[in-house]
A and B are shown apart, each in its own frame.
Chain A
């Protein structure tokens, strides 16, 4: 059987169909079978598992995994190695559920103990771990069973395969895992710090696979906070290594991985972004990622074309991600990116690509660039990016929607020339529907965009917003559990309630509800920022001609203002004083009565006291208010 199936997938399938697997497993598990027989069984099974994915499915369905795991308890090394080899092949297949490794809690500790047996056990076991560690839970299980202490010495194994698989283990263990990463930095291998071992593995004469994986390890340790971003091993080693991985000389897969890892590494750090942006002309190097399949490959080599096509999407999305990361903070870098050949066109076409990964990455890139005032005014407008963006917002999955709506927020800023055409395309309905989403991020973005839209907007737009959103929804948002949503909603209210005619108009139709909402927030448990924003709304209301009366007739509200004037937080004092100052402003009708009433309520004393305040702004504001009385 062994000789018949080697290298022959059809024979493998035949044997499986004929029911060889249960029989082999039976013989393998029979303790009365001779060791030679059991070993041969494991070898044949290992050969069968090298076949197609369907073969592996059949093997897994025959419960091969528990049988082989059971076999590992045998003391014979040759037999163990045969079992492990088969297990390895099964576990690295995408059709095998990785959870099967963790079903029996005794398996992982036993595998750890087998690591010392031979180079083969080391290679197979580390390879299994590297493929089966997919979730934080898996990481924790492996970590708790001493994966780090057991695998670290393998990094200096004489066998390249063992070193490589051990390295891969560390990259999957450290990914987004602070506990593992923090432990890793303190591990010594043969008297050398682990980070230095990784640095050595990134040397330029080492195999690319090893350089790349070592760079991933250090990247993950850095992102998990175990290594500072200004550490030399990151700045002078990991970053340049990853930039090299993006170069044209590397394989397409390596370029994808390199770019994605680099994007992840520097995402939160502007200094790394600045260094990367000048290293080896990275920005123009990435432009090559969009040239697949190249026109040359289409003509000359059909295999090459196929290969290029397969990776084209991956390359594009990786480049977009890296551009997004590069441009997330620095204005000069953003400029450099948009000036790269055909960059804006590429983003625009990326937004409507069939691959969701590419669309997502493209919109991330667009979002990153949209943080630039200059780009919003120029290239964004020139390329009408709002059009594909609006299209993307229809029926997109949530993750795309979050990025797209976030970008839209920036495009709706008042200085953006795209604001007008977007308004005309009927975006308000869409944004209002976003505010009803289950996802807090989408609710924030929806209300945020509306807030930006309402800033210094026409009366017509404001009315449209209020009508489309509906007061009911507006007040629901004011009690949203997400503070961000609440803040942006208050921001929207404040933007709506600006310029006197608008204030009076909105307050005349919705005054009651708004005053209620304001009362509720001021009485509730909220952060200083929320209360400040609310007092600012109150101050805006106090600026209206008719709206003023809504406050003046509400003694309870006046008491609240009085309370906040004496609050320990200067910001709240300032906002409350602003409100009073608007109420007693001289040049308006009925100012005398209001002044009198407020004097009776003791506001003058408070204002007088505030003129002595240590904060200069507050002091000034109080003095201006006092002058209204003196005039």
Chain B
């Protein structure tokens, strides 16, 4: 599980979701059993670290959470979940000094990192040092004495920067004081705090404080030297005494203003052209024909693609998003002959999706058997097709979901008994669901007769040259079914705005509808169910054929299994693999088909906007890898609204 994913596939809204996703798993994995207070603290810690360092990917670069029982000198004792450090040597002279490092180095993606240490007891002489050191530094020393190590010492208040002699820096510290160490990986400096007060690092003539020029990975480090010295670390387990978030907010603002004020000088015209092109190509890519035309007119730019071609793509996309995959395949074959034949993978994906939509009762091959329930009809506009999320995001998201133990559990049994149990599974499922569902489906068809006649003309006209307004009708129909026809005629360019607003609502509504409706297999129709099973067999045959032709394909196998598994449950919508039925799942295949068509027309399969977004995301990732701390405050999702 990575965040964000390291391909150029851009991420729009999936970011926050995924972030919390791995976090939950991580938290669950690292919890110790038994002690509820400790669990609570662990939870607090995770929450705080997540808030402070949102850009850190802990799978790659874990954050320090305690002192390392391995990376310490023998005179150091650890207790209290490896947070408390005490000295247990002789403490005769500096040769008896002893240090301990944290479990992990500070990831550069933190941007600004902070930890605190409370002096529980200053012991005999209070020769305590708090700071940073690199792995491999001698642990028989206080931090600051060796190369790549930095420390602030309690007995004299001096700061040691890779040298045995310190510089006057701050006040001394002793029992009861809380000392903090802040590493700024943006300007590569470090400063210390005492009881919540910054001791500073900005100095002109007398530079006391470390400038961490180029550094290997640095670890939080504490060193003790005389008996009785005890200190407690706070890596985020408790609220910090120093207001580190306030300090971070200043740097966030600095970096954002740096970005906002990035000088473009004389290239202003070029930039504008690039931006207009990005917007225009994005609109074209997703088939917002009228919007794209209007935009092109207003900005006096050209659209590369032919208008008819845009509309064709738009129509196909709409069919997929409406769950009418069969029709989409037909239309593709008709308009772009040879495309699917040359891309059997895509065809197979489409067919699998068609099977899923048959289960759903939305595909036209099953829909023709009965009037649809209004719920399944609504599910088309319910999916946020008007502001496309990028397909790859969602596909990725759900793949990862399927990898998690809970999801794979449901799949495993079918996996084993695939060849034998599959069809019995199907029949039992249809047997259990169809008798109970038929009466209600009759009721539906009667009560919704007006509704279905209303939507009928749309599907009838959809094979002809459909105009943009159809899309708008559908959207308005969803948001406000009564006034649809009047608004359609009257509102010229305003329409688009309304659609977008309607769409915002529709996301929420669509989900709510899905969860509370009682849905039935293939719309509850017997004949449709039989057609579905027939189709399933064809699909199986296609799979076997592809297997013979191109060799085994694990992805196909998995796809087919997942699709067929739906039939193993009496309520496919509420089963472990039921997520496939979510209209949102259409977006991935829709975007794949759209890209394939565009590619066949020698047009970019990704809109440049998405490409730029993906590149920016990737660039920020790379910044973290080369230890450029500003990446944490220049995250792409900060700029997406």
Stretch at the interface among A68-76, A85-93, A274-282, A563-571: A274-282
* Chain B window 187-204, contacts with chain A (Cβ cutoff 8 Å), 1 for yes, 0 for no: 000000010111110111
Q: Which residues of A have CB within 8 Å of B204? A: 248, 284, 288
CB distance from B112 to the nearest CB of A (A): 12
- Is the CB–CB distance between B170 and A284 below 8 Å? no
B253 at the interface (CB under 8 A from A): yes
Q: In the complex, what residue of chain B is closest to A282 when comparing beta carbons? A: B200
Q: In the complex, what residue of chain A is closest to B195 when comparing beta carbons? A: A275
- Is the CB–CB distance between B203 and A284 below 8 Å? yes
* Other-chain residue from A236, A240, A248 in contact with B202 (beta carbon distance below 8 A): A248
Q: Which residues of A have CB within 8 Å of B170? A: 278
* Other-chain residue from B196, B202, B206, B246 in contact with A204 (beta carbon distance below 8 A): B246
CB distance from B312 to the nearest CB of A (A): 47
- Is the CB–CB distance between A279 and B197 below 8 Å? yes
A479 at the interface (CB under 8 A from B): no
- Is the CB–CB distance between A204 and B250 below 8 Å? yes
User: Please, how many angstroms separate the alpha-carbon atoms of A438 and B202 in the complex?
Assistant: 48
Q: Which residues of A have CB within 8 Å of B171? A: 278
B495 at the interface (CB under 8 A from A): no
* Chain B window 201-214, contacts with chain A (Cβ cutoff 8 Å), 1 for yes, 0 for no: 01111101000000
- Is the CB–CB distance between B200 and A205 below 8 Å? no
Q: Given A204-B250, A205-B253, A248-B204, does the pair A281, B199 have CB atoms closer than 8 Å?
A: yes
Q: Which residues of B, 240-270, contact A by the 8 Å Cβ criterion? A: 243, 246-247, 249-250, 252-253
Q: Given A205-B253, A288-B204, A341-B205, does the pair A280, B199 have CB atoms closer than 8 Å?
A: yes
Q: Given A205-B252, A205-B253, A247-B202, does the pair A278, B194 have CB atoms closer than 8 Å?
A: yes
User: Please, how many angstroms separate the alpha-carbon atoms of A208 and B250 in the complex?
Assistant: 11
A471 at the interface (CB under 8 A from B): no
Q: Which residues of B have CB within 8 Å of A288? A: 204
Q: In the complex, what residue of chain B is closest to A207 when comparing beta carbons? A: B253
Q: Which residues of B have CB within 8 Å of A249? A: 202
Q: In the complex, what residue of chain A is closest to B241 when comparing beta carbons? A: A236
* Chain A window 237-263, contacts with chain B (Cβ cutoff 8 Å), 1 for yes, 0 for no: 100100000011100000000000000
- Is the CB–CB distance between A279 and B250 below 8 Å? no
Q: In the complex, what residue of chain B is closest to A241 when comparing beta carbons? A: B246
- Is the CB–CB distance between A240 and B198 below 8 Å? yes
User: Please, how many angstroms separate the alpha-carbon atoms of A507 and B246 in the complex?
Assistant: 71
Q: Which residues of A, 149-176, contact B by the 8 Å Cβ criterion? A: none
User: Please, how many angstroms separate the alpha-carbon atoms of A249 and B200 in the complex?
Assistant: 13
User: Please, how many angstroms separate the alpha-carbon atoms of A282 and B249 in the complex?
Assistant: 22
- Is the CB–CB distance between A204 and B247 below 8 Å? yes
- Is the CB–CB distance between B198 and A205 below 8 Å? no
Q: Given A236-B243, A341-B205, does the pair A278, B250 have CB atoms closer than 8 Å?
A: no
User: Please, how many angstroms separate the alpha-carbon atoms of A236 and B240 in the complex?
Assistant: 12
User: Please, how many angstroms separate the alpha-carbon atoms of A240 and B250 in the complex?
Assistant: 14
A203 at the interface (CB under 8 A from B): yes
* Chain A window 273-312, contacts with chain B (Cβ cutoff 8 Å), 1 for yes, 0 for no: 0010011111011011000000000000000000000000
Interface centre among A203, A205, A275, A287 (most CB of B within 10 A): A205
Q: Given A204-B249, A341-B205, does the pair A280, B243 have CB atoms closer than 8 Å?
A: no
Range class of the A interface residue count: 20 to 34
Q: In the complex, what residue of chain A is closest to B196 when comparing beta carbons? A: A236
User: Please, how many angstroms separate the alpha-carbon atoms of A237 and B204 in the complex?
Assistant: 25
User: Please, how many angstroms separate the alpha-carbon atoms of A496 and B510 in the complex?
Assistant: 99
Q: In the complex, what residue of chain A is closest to B205 when comparing beta carbons? A: A341
Q: Which residues of B have CB within 8 Å of A204? A: 246-247, 249-250, 253
User: Please, how many angstroms separate the alpha-carbon atoms of A205 and B247 in the complex?
Assistant: 8
User: Please, how many angstroms separate the alpha-carbon atoms of A205 and B252 in the complex?
Assistant: 8
- Residue tally, chain B, CB below 8 Å to A: 21
Interface centre among A204, A237, A287, A341 (most CB of B within 10 A): A204
Q: In the complex, what residue of chain B is closest to A247 when comparing beta carbons? A: B202
CB distance from B11 to the nearest CB of A (A): 26
User: Please, how many angstroms separate the alpha-carbon atoms of A237 and B196 in the complex?
Assistant: 10
Interface of B (DSSP majority class): loop
* Other-chain residue from A205, A248, A275 in contact with B249 (beta carbon distance below 8 A): A205
CB distance from A146 to the nearest CB of B (A): 34
User: Please, how many angstroms separate the alpha-carbon atoms of A341 and B206 in the complex?
Assistant: 10
Q: Which residues of B, 215-254, contact A by the 8 Å Cβ criterion? A: 243, 246-247, 249-250, 252-253
- Is the CB–CB distance between B202 and A280 below 8 Å? yes
User: Please, how many angstroms separate the alpha-carbon atoms of A282 and B196 in the complex?
Assistant: 16
CB distance from B192 to the nearest CB of A (A): 11
User: Please, how many angstroms separate the alpha-carbon atoms of A280 and B202 in the complex?
Assistant: 7
User: Please, how many angstroms separate the alpha-carbon atoms of A293 and B253 in the complex?
Assistant: 30
- Is the CB–CB distance between A278 and B199 below 8 Å? yes
CB distance from A618 to the nearest CB of B (A): 43
CB distance from B170 to the nearest CB of A (A): 6
Q: Which residues of A have CB within 8 Å of B247? A: 204
Q: In the complex, what residue of chain B is closest to A275 when comparing beta carbons? A: B197
Q: In the complex, what residue of chain B is closest to A236 when comparing beta carbons? A: B196
User: Please, how many angstroms separate the alpha-carbon atoms of A189 and B480 in the complex?
Assistant: 40
CB distance from A447 to the nearest CB of B (A): 41
Q: Which residues of B have CB within 8 Å of A287? A: 205
User: Please, how many angstroms separate the alpha-carbon atoms of A625 and B246 in the complex?
Assistant: 70
Q: In the complex, what residue of chain A is closest to B253 when comparing beta carbons? A: A205
User: Please, how many angstroms separate the alpha-carbon atoms of A39 and B247 in the complex?
Assistant: 48
User: Please, how many angstroms separate the alpha-carbon atoms of A284 and B205 in the complex?
Assistant: 9
User: Please, how many angstroms separate the alpha-carbon atoms of A249 and B253 in the complex?
Assistant: 15
* Chain B window 97-119, contacts with chain A (Cβ cutoff 8 Å), 1 for yes, 0 for no: 00000000000000000000000
Interface centre among A205, A281, A284 (most CB of B within 10 A): A281
- Is the CB–CB distance between B206 and A278 below 8 Å? no
* Chain A window 196-214, contacts with chain B (Cβ cutoff 8 Å), 1 for yes, 0 for no: 0000000111000000000
Q: Which residues of A, 33-49, contact B by the 8 Å Cβ criterion? A: none
CB distance from A535 to the nearest CB of B (A): 47
User: Please, how many angstroms separate the alpha-carbon atoms of A284 and B204 in the complex?
Assistant: 9
User: Please, how many angstroms separate the alpha-carbon atoms of A237 and B198 in the complex?
Assistant: 11
CB distance from A269 to the nearest CB of B (A): 15
User: Please, how many angstroms separate the alpha-carbon atoms of A467 and B196 in the complex?
Assistant: 59
- Is the CB–CB distance between B194 and A203 below 8 Å? no
Q: Which residues of A have CB within 8 Å of B199? A: 278-281
- Is the CB–CB distance between B253 and A279 below 8 Å? no
Q: Which residues of B have CB within 8 Å of A284? A: 203-206
User: Please, how many angstroms separate the alpha-carbon atoms of A240 and B194 in the complex?
Assistant: 12
User: Please, how many angstroms separate the alpha-carbon atoms of A278 and B205 in the complex?
Assistant: 17
- Is the CB–CB distance between B246 and A280 below 8 Å? no
User: Please, how many angstroms separate the alpha-carbon atoms of A203 and B196 in the complex?
Assistant: 15
CB distance from A288 to the nearest CB of B (A): 6
* Chain B window 147-187, contacts with chain A (Cβ cutoff 8 Å), 1 for yes, 0 for no: 00000000000000000000000110000000000000000
Interface centre among A279, A285, A341 (most CB of B within 10 A): A279
Q: Which residues of A have CB within 8 Å of B246? A: 203-204
* Chain A window 322-361, contacts with chain B (Cβ cutoff 8 Å), 1 for yes, 0 for no: 0000000000000000000100000000000000000000
* Other-chain residue from A237, A275, A279 in contact with B200 (beta carbon distance below 8 A): A279
User: Please, how many angstroms separate the alpha-carbon atoms of A324 and B246 in the complex?
Assistant: 30
CB distance from B54 to the nearest CB of A (A): 16
Interface centre among A278, A288, A341 (most CB of B within 10 A): A278
* Other-chain residue from B198, B206, B208, B249 in contact with A203 (beta carbon distance below 8 A): B249
- Is the CB–CB distance between A280 and B205 below 8 Å? no
Q: Which residues of B have CB within 8 Å of A279? A: 197-200
- Is the CB–CB distance between A280 and B198 below 8 Å? yes
- Is the CB–CB distance between B249 and A281 below 8 Å? no
A205-B250, A247-B202, A248-B202 given. 18 additional CB < 8 A pairs? Answer: A204-B246, A204-B253, A205-B249, A205-B253, A236-B197, A236-B243, A237-B243, A248-B204, A249-B202, A278-B170, A278-B171, A279-B199, A280-B198, A281-B199, A281-B202, A282-B200, A284-B204, A285-B202
Complex A-B, nearest 8 residue pairs according to Cβ-Cβ distance, in ascending order: A280-B200, A204-B250, A205-B253, A205-B249, A281-B200, A278-B171, A204-B246, A279-B197
| 20 A-B contact pairs sorted by A residue (CB < 8 Å) | A204-B246, A204-B250, A236-B197, A240-B197, A240-B198, A248-B202, A248-B204, A249-B202, A275-B197, A278-B171, A279-B197, A280-B198, A281-B199, A281-B200, A281-B208, A284-B203, A284-B206, A285-B200, A285-B202, A341-B205
